[in-house]
Structure 1
Amino acid sequence: MTAIRLINVRPPRIRRCRPMILAAAALLAAAPAYLSPVAHASTASAPFPTILFASPDGSGSSCALWHPCSITGAQARVRSLAQDMSSDIRVELFSGTYRLSAPLQLDARDSGTNGHSVVWAALPGAKPVLSGAEQITGWHQSDPAKNIWSAPAPAGLQTRQLYVDGVRADRASGPLPVRLKKTSTGYTADSDVMAGWRNPSDIEFVYSGGAPYWSLKTGGEGAWTEPRCPVGSISGTTITMAQPCWDNSTLRPQRTDGSGRSYNLVHNGNLGNGSIPAYVDNAYELLDQPGEWYLDQSANTIYYIPRAGENLRWADVEAPVLQQLVTGQGTATAPVHDVTFSGIQFSYATWLTPSTGEGFNEIQANYTLTGPHGYDQEGLCQFIAGGTCPYGAWTKEPGNVSFGYDSDIRFEDDAFVHLGAAGLDLGDGSQNDTVEGSVFTDISGNGLEIGGVDMPEPTTQADHTSGVQVLDNHLYSLPVEYHGGVAIDVGYAEHTLISHNQLDHTAYTAISLGWGGWPDKIKVQATPNYSNNNTVSDNYINDAMQFLADGGGIYTQGITGSSMDTGEHLTGNVITNTLDNGHAMYCDNGCTFWTASGNVLTGNVSNDWGARHADYRPGASGPDPLLVSGNYWWQGDHDSVDGNAVVSGNHVIASVSQAPVSIVRNAGLEPRYRWILADRFGASVPEAPGQVAAFAADGTAYVGWNPTFVDNGSPVTSYTVTAYPGGASATISPADLAKTGYTTISGLTNGTAYTFTVTAHNRIGESAASLPSAAITPTATTTAVPGTPTSVSADPGDGTVSIHFTPPAATGATPIIGYTITAPGIAPVHVTGHDYVWATSGNGLYTVVSGLTNGTAYTFQITADNAVGSSAPASVTATPGPAPVPTP
């Protein structure tokens, strides 16, 4: 057996004897694993590591097996040993919750030296949790009629999250109880009901983006955003909104050049839907659903309605207090380096800025406007007088675990879960870091952030974010609070490798790379930057874009390199089932030197790869250089060469089963990491569905919604829609919802106004009800059918044809619910689903018809269908056949 050097081994304390003996046995049994090459030397030549021990109730600084120290004690001991390391230093953590009173702050003194590493790792079989929460106890039922329970909160507690037995509770929220009219400082309400609510300055208005699903109106600053602003005060019917959030949300100056854009160029810039919020958040008066909670800061009291099966007398209730758990902030000349975290769970941290007057004023990917002149100065640079530079340098969401100016930092087999900001931020100056075999879930915002957007052209190499590798991780069911966040968000960076990860069930985009491309909207070049040689390969991405719109599985904007060789490369990725006007791969504004090859893209996508954009770089002409080659997809674009933009040798398929097995099997987690797919953190009923909308027909309602993307450890088995008044209901399976995009409730009374809520079910039980839809009134419908689809075209493949069309502007008596494709010799194909009922005449759609005979000409007819009937058909002819081999 390999020897291990233990520090300061002393006789055991009696109360620790058995646990320490067991730990020692486990440690010795696992000794060969401890000497594996974590960071540098081979096993044959590695010197024996120095082992320190820490436990949740540790003390002192000896850090011996028989007398472990605390986390801070271990840090002090590491610093005393790290100046002249002759081997790795390992801090072994016993199981349990390490309740931090302050973040673990690392700097250059905590680094490995002389080619060795400092390793913070779980003991074999241990599950240490670094927590920034306080436990809430002393619960009693304070309102039996509503089953509301309460408990004393620590004096001065501020938090935006609460967890019960490892499951996130929902802040009390609901629909607006009044009608609002916007003013320069907020709103005038049609009644004073909200003036009587407690703690009005704690209330938040949420402006949800997303798809204009039938009667649903967007209220975000773009369909990819979900901003929120706190209320400042309420007096009678006057609601004054908090500053600077209100001005930053409503006063973004608009260009007068006809572009329809604000000076930030991202969008028209101000709140949609007349600036009327989609719902109200964080009010005691809205506490009415199981799983909801409210913190009354003025009374130091927390209120909660238990979910079925929860007993607050012995439940573990955690209120996050710290805003960061671990930080590693070096400098350009003294970086934090050679530190590894292995087998550790990072949990229970919050983020308080959205609760201040700043609110959460989102631009994109959880970047926000802040400060009293955020709306007319921040990041506007050359585009407006007084703008701060560089362009697009808006405020980044912080990470609950955060590093910057660092190198060779490793996170392996860790879990980032139950977090209130971004999970992990590897910011400016992060170099040669690795995130491997880890889980990211139940995170309020972005999962993993790499780089920043404040230094597009750094002056020194130390400022670059370079060489970060993200390998074999599972990121899922996020973001859960700031829905415009991204699972993996990369700003300006170079030599990034994102490979063999699985990303599923994301509210918005799964992976986003690049920044600063929006100036091409006004025919100005994208922001020059140092990004180069970033690769996204062999990832499996499923069910992205489950809540907001206009993103994708992999989204890119801005200049990605200096040539096709040094630009961004997307290869071997399998991307399925993006919703809400989502792209599988999205080449957006300024996307330059972008290559997408050998990817598989199928299932409910509005677009496979984005579109060409004009290249406005000095001396350039035509579209931005890009190569789209050898992919397997629904879209079926013809081969084409347009200047430096090449589309060649792609294949039309109807399902993943028609793609090469080698690509499909290679995508996602490699075999030795697939065990992390079973990792779950808390089990409960699902979160409620979102974006519920409805339209009326004769005695019937058609109700659609976005599927639940947070199932809390157990897949959704069904959804139930309930009508109010009357309680009529209908239940549908997730598979049927995916096929149709809606369900119907019949037997309603014409002339009566109805709203609808949706609940989700899993094996544990039923979710809380969704927010209600807007009211609709069934009436005897006319016989108007939709107009005919337009811009119909067809792209043939091997035994397949991809049929493209644009929805008609005239929907008839009721909205379109699908399309029907017919041709001689084939059974009718009914094209239904979320994206087809979502789309308007401004959206191109397509689908694939398979099982065709190569060499046979088919004339397809396509009709638009509504609740009344079908339109006149449009026709197109195509002859399927194998795709040509791409030209080298």
Structure 2
Amino acid sequence: MGGKMLAPRRATLVAALSAVLALGVPGSVTAAGADSGAGGSAGSHSADVYVTPSGDDHAQGTARHPVRSLQRARDLARVRSAGHDGDLTVHLASGTYRTTEPLVLDARDSGRGGHRIIWQGTGSTVISGGKKVQGWKPVHGRPGLYSAPAPQGLTDTRQLYVDGVRAQRTRGEVPVGLTATASGYTTTVDTIAHWRHPSDAEFVYSSGEELWNVERNGLGQWTEPRCRIAAAKGTTLTMAQPCWDNSNKRVEFPDIPGRTVSMVGPGHLTNDAKASYIENAYELLDQPGEWYLDRTAHTVYYLPRKGEDIRHADVEAAAAEKLVDGRGTAAAPVHDVAFRGVQFSYATWLTPSKPEGFSEIQAGYTITGANGWATQGLCGFVKGGTCPFASWTPMPGNVSFTYGTRIEFSDDDFTHLGAAGLQLGTGTSDSRVRGNTFTDISGNGLEIGGVDGSTPADHVEVTDNHLYALPREFHGSVGILNGYTQHNTIAHNQLDHLGYSAISMGWGGWPDKVGSPATPNASHDNAVSDNLIFDYMQMFDDGGGIYTQGLTGTSLADGEKVTGNVIHDQWGLGKSVYTDNGCTYETVEGNVLYGASYANVASRHTDYRDQLGNNDPTLVKDNWWEEGTADGDNKGLVTTGNHIMAAPSDAPAAIVAAAGIEPAYRDVLSRTAGAVSVPEAPSRVGTSTAGADALYAIFNPVFADGGSPVLSYTAHALRPDGTEAARQTVSAADYKRLAYIRIGGLPAGGGPFTVTVTAANAHGSSAPSLASAPLVPTAVTVLPDAPTGPKLRTEATAATLAWTPPKNMGDAKLTGYRLTVSDGRTIEVTGRDAMVGQPSGKGMFRVIGGLKPGTGYTVTVASVTAAGVGPAATVTATTSAG
């Protein structure tokens, strides 16, 4: 079998799907009946096709004589459906269907006369693009390391799985100093030139907010571009083209310093283009769970995790890049096709390993092609710019359809995948994605439509799906990506444990950064409703639970509706509902929003479609939130009827109960992928002095927990020789509350120290994170200034205190704030937002509950660092009468 399959479905879910799927479900048909007539089983249609991994493609495709391959089953279904009046089912028996080429479907593979062709799995049916890796033996001279011959036909891959658990491609710190050049780098020593295969190695530029000794190396806080080394000779590294130029030569406006014509991020890799870390070299193979494919020697290397017996494990190398490829056209769409009860797994995506690389813009879109940096998507702003503006290259789906009508995916599992999971692209219409899981995917979970001006996707319903623990490789990807579309509904899904934004809607709004209107597009009448989103933006910044940009319609009547969602516990710097550049005609109504960094709804942008100076028309109404913005009409931005919530229990029970997976589909929450394993390592570790003998460590928590919740984190302070000087463990709950670990007892005058962090669950501890930059602890004595601009936004029994961090933090980094209330309370404010807000100058807010109506209150706020509590700012206000 192809690795661990997801837990079998319960019969209740199958029954629910039969009852309520909008497209309908045919009568139950089993794969095990006696032959009847032309080959059907008792109670089945005679035209049905039967498939099993042990079948024979020379057989008739009956229940007693099933075929083996998906392609043969397709061809039989194509012939039989022509003369068949009714739904035709392709019965996929339990087991793994290995494929090196995708199952290609076109108009000939469509249902006839309003009926469907249904590819029906059992819940234990796997369509796999993987190849088994067998014959593992210990590597002489490398204790603990094993090798095996690469499977026949495997020339490259980016993913390896051991018993259904994703292994980490070798990675480590860049072992040399780097100075950027026009074509790559010069290095301080020639170490990399002596590696086995330097041109296999890939530089990763991990972005993020500059704070706590963490460097920003990418193309914006939301990106993680990747470029391969082309050649290493002596101390000269030549980087692969066009990735290098596409990431470093992006066109900038001559009269706006630093502003690119793409208007998305900087024009070149920041921090002098230094890589954050390096992947895919044999010389970096030093941590349990890491692997490397030596393509020249045709050998796979793996360093097993504790408790793994690699000689008897099911090891799968992802080989195929497509599993299912629906190739409709505008003139001949593929239509009336359903996939039910199927697991799609073990597919890869090799473009990032090629000279093209991964020159990211946002949400998995990249700049591609020779000289792509000079023209791609720059319509109207540069000579020869391709149109429409912002039409960059999307990440492909391992399962995809274009020009598909009445396409259905239900009760399926998208897991162990190397690109986007499912792509319903240009021209998709009247289609359904319901009751599926999306997890352990390298990039975006689900992609809908495109942004290239082609036929928009329309009337696509995405409901009752669980998307979690992604992205695993291209960390700027999102859960659901919806481009230029019409009449789409994204409702009753649960999205949790995500590295960046959960749902991304629209595109092309960036021109408002230079006073131009957003890109015209066909979008209208899209709805995002009743979703449950939490623990998102766990790795990157500048995103949201629901992120939208660009024109969403022609008026508030047909613009995007964001209603009834419950969104909480964001980690990165961003907003619950983020209405970004050019976001016009959006309604944000009746949501429950809390636990965001510095805003629940970001909504004010100038409307540049005319010269009137108004804001993009937006309605923010009847939400339950923490930011407490007063009612008003700010030049078209209408805020009305919102309520301050001091605790989640303040929110209406009906909104909370309705959000997320509907009862009939909640079985998707219990389906798990692979074996339980240790967590992924934490990321983006930074440090700050906490005194002469201590450091504070900050890092991004784990969002891929191995199927078992993270219980604790341990920070390890390392001497220059790599030995451990001290460690400190805190519970995961305490780290979530504080967002830092204090490591004390360091030797005075020692260091500089680097810090690594491990995460632990019930199964064990993760590999250590990549190390922080080195830092010497120093004594701190200078207190921070007082915060600025305090405001108290009041209701009857609660108030939101808003303030701006002080510009002068003294000689230490901020770790929190202390609030005092005139009723005698002291409130300690900690958390990720307290620390990321200071260097970026973002505002802070906290709700104070338990107040009395019609009562005056005085509140103070002071900054806290390792030096102590600074002076306070004071504000006074009176609660409403109630």
- Tell me the TM-score normalised to structure 2 length: 0.94
Matches within 5 A, 1:43-192: 49=45, 50-60=47-57, 61-70=59-68, 71-123=70-122, 126-143=123-140, 145-154=142-151, 156-192=154-190
The answer on whether the counterparts of 1:36 and 1:42 sit within 8 Å (CA) in structure 2 is: no
User: Which secondary structure does the structure 2 equivalent of 1:673 belong to?
Assistant: helix
CA distance in 1, matches of 2:477, 2:437: 17
Match of 2:746 among 729, 748, 766: 748
Q: How far is 1:52 from its partner?
A: 2.1
Q: How far is 1:133 from its partner?
A: 0.8
Q: How far is 1:604 from its partner?
A: 4.0
Q: How far is 1:251 from its partner?
A: 0.8
- Equivalent position of 1:707 in the other structure: 701
The answer on whether the counterparts of 1:466 and 1:495 sit within 8 Å (CA) in structure 2 is: yes
CA distance in 2, matches of 1:487, 1:522: 29
Instruction: Return closer, same or farther for 1:619/1:32 CA change in 2, 3 Å cut-off.
Output: closer
User: Which secondary structure does the structure 2 equivalent of 1:299 belong to?
Assistant: coil
CA distance in 1, matches of 2:837, 2:703: 21
The answer on whether the counterparts of 2:18 and 2:24 sit within 8 Å (CA) in structure 1 is: no
2:647 equivalent to 1:655: yes
Match of 2:636 among 644, 651, 654: 644
The answer on whether the counterparts of 2:560 and 2:587 sit within 8 Å (CA) in structure 1 is: yes
Instruction: Return closer, same or farther for 1:762/1:385 CA change in 2, 3 Å cut-off.
Output: same
CA distance in 2, matches of 1:523, 1:36: 47
The answer on whether the counterparts of 1:791 and 1:805 sit within 8 Å (CA) in structure 2 is: yes
Q: How far is 1:825 from its partner?
A: 1.3
- Equivalent position of 2:307 in the other structure: 309
Match of 1:695 among 688, 700, 715: 688
User: Which secondary structure does the structure 2 equivalent of 1:343 belong to?
Assistant: strand
Output the amino acid matched with 1:448. L
Matches within 5 A, 1:715-754: 715-725=709-719, 726-752=724-750, 753-754=752-753
CA distance in 2, matches of 1:372, 1:576: 42
Matches within 5 A, 1:143-292: 143=140, 145-154=142-151, 156-258=154-256, 260-292=258-290
Q: How far is 1:512 from its partner?
A: 0.3
Q: How far is 1:571 from its partner?
A: 0.4
CA distance in 1, matches of 2:105, 2:444: 23
CA distance in 2, matches of 1:174, 1:35: 51
The answer on whether the counterparts of 1:651 and 1:798 sit within 8 Å (CA) in structure 2 is: no
Matches within 5 A, 1:438-837: 438-455=436-453, 458=454, 463-618=455-610, 621-682=613-674, 683-696=676-689, 697-725=691-719, 726-752=724-750, 753-781=752-780, 783-837=781-835
CA distance in 2, matches of 1:171, 1:68: 39
Q: How far is 1:134 from its partner?
A: 0.5
Deviations 1:601-627 (A, max 9, x none): 011432111131111114654000000
The answer on whether the counterparts of 1:555 and 1:588 sit within 8 Å (CA) in structure 2 is: yes
CA distance in 2, matches of 1:613, 1:148: 55
CA distance in 1, matches of 2:178, 2:577: 39
CA distance in 1, matches of 2:205, 2:16: 55
Deviations 1:426-462 (A, max 9, x none): 000000110000000000000000000101xx5xxxx
Q: How far is 1:799 from its partner?
A: 1.5
The answer on whether the counterparts of 1:78 and 1:110 sit within 8 Å (CA) in structure 2 is: yes
User: Which secondary structure does the structure 2 equivalent of 1:719 belong to?
Assistant: strand
Q: How far is 1:37 from its partner?
A: 7.7
CA distance in 2, matches of 1:85, 1:259: 66
Q: How far is 1:31 from its partner?
A: 11
Deviations 1:174-201 (A, max 9, x none): 1111111111111111111111111111
Output the amino acid matched with 1:521. K
User: Which secondary structure does the structure 2 equivalent of 1:433 belong to?
Assistant: strand
CA distance in 1, matches of 2:731, 2:618: 41
Matches within 5 A, 1:867-882: 867-881=866-880
Instruction: Return closer, same or farther for 1:36/1:279 CA change in 2, 3 Å cut-off.
Output: closer
CA distance in 1, matches of 2:351, 2:286: 26
Q: How far is 1:38 from its partner?
A: 7.7
Q: How far is 1:35 from its partner?
A: 10
CA distance in 2, matches of 1:497, 1:441: 21
CA distance in 2, matches of 1:402, 1:882: 57
Bigger drift between 69-78 and 391-400 goes to 69-78
Deviations 1:686-728 (A, max 9, x none): 0000011111222001011111000111110111111112341
CA distance in 1, matches of 2:214, 2:27: 61
CA distance in 1, matches of 2:15, 2:519: 52
Instruction: Return closer, same or farther for 1:700/1:630 CA change in 2, 3 Å cut-off.
Output: same
Bigger drift between 75-84 and 617-626 goes to 617-626
Output the amino acid matched with 1:750. A
CA distance in 2, matches of 1:788, 1:386: 52
CA distance in 2, matches of 1:374, 1:624: 31
CA distance in 1, matches of 2:758, 2:15: 51
The answer on whether the counterparts of 2:538 and 2:700 sit within 8 Å (CA) in structure 1 is: yes
Deviations 1:641-666 (A, max 9, x none): 02221001111112211100000011
The answer on whether the counterparts of 1:597 and 1:629 sit within 8 Å (CA) in structure 2 is: yes
Deviations 1:227-271 (A, max 9, x none): 010011111111111111111111112112336310111122211
The answer on whether the counterparts of 1:39 and 1:116 sit within 8 Å (CA) in structure 2 is: no
- Equivalent position of 1:6 in the other structure: none
User: Which secondary structure does the structure 2 equivalent of 1:452 belong to?
Assistant: coil
The answer on whether the counterparts of 1:582 and 1:606 sit within 8 Å (CA) in structure 2 is: yes
Output the amino acid matched with 1:230. R
Count of matched residue pairs: 845
Identity of aligned residues (%): 48
- Equivalent position of 1:10 in the other structure: none
Bigger drift between 469-478 and 146-155 goes to 146-155
Instruction: Return closer, same or farther for 1:271/1:42 CA change in 2, 3 Å cut-off.
Output: closer
- Equivalent position of 2:4 in the other structure: none
CA distance in 1, matches of 2:794, 2:388: 46
CA distance in 1, matches of 2:22, 2:382: 50
Instruction: Return closer, same or farther for 1:882/1:108 CA change in 2, 3 Å cut-off.
Output: farther
Q: How far is 1:93 from its partner?
A: 1.1
Instruction: Return closer, same or farther for 1:180/1:878 CA change in 2, 3 Å cut-off.
Output: same
Bigger drift between 346-355 and 76-85 goes to 76-85
CA distance in 1, matches of 2:622, 2:597: 18
CA distance in 2, matches of 1:706, 1:380: 34
Q: How far is 1:92 from its partner?
A: 1.2
Q: Which runs of 5+ in 2 are unaligned?
A: 1-9, 29-42
User: Which secondary structure does the structure 1 equivalent of 2:570 belong to?
Assistant: coil
The answer on whether the counterparts of 1:332 and 1:429 sit within 8 Å (CA) in structure 2 is: yes
Instruction: Return closer, same or farther for 1:31/1:727 CA change in 2, 3 Å cut-off.
Output: closer
- Equivalent position of 2:35 in the other structure: none
The answer on whether the counterparts of 2:592 and 2:625 sit within 8 Å (CA) in structure 1 is: yes
The answer on whether the counterparts of 1:39 and 1:117 sit within 8 Å (CA) in structure 2 is: no
Q: Which runs of 5+ in 1 are unaligned?
A: 1-25, 884-888
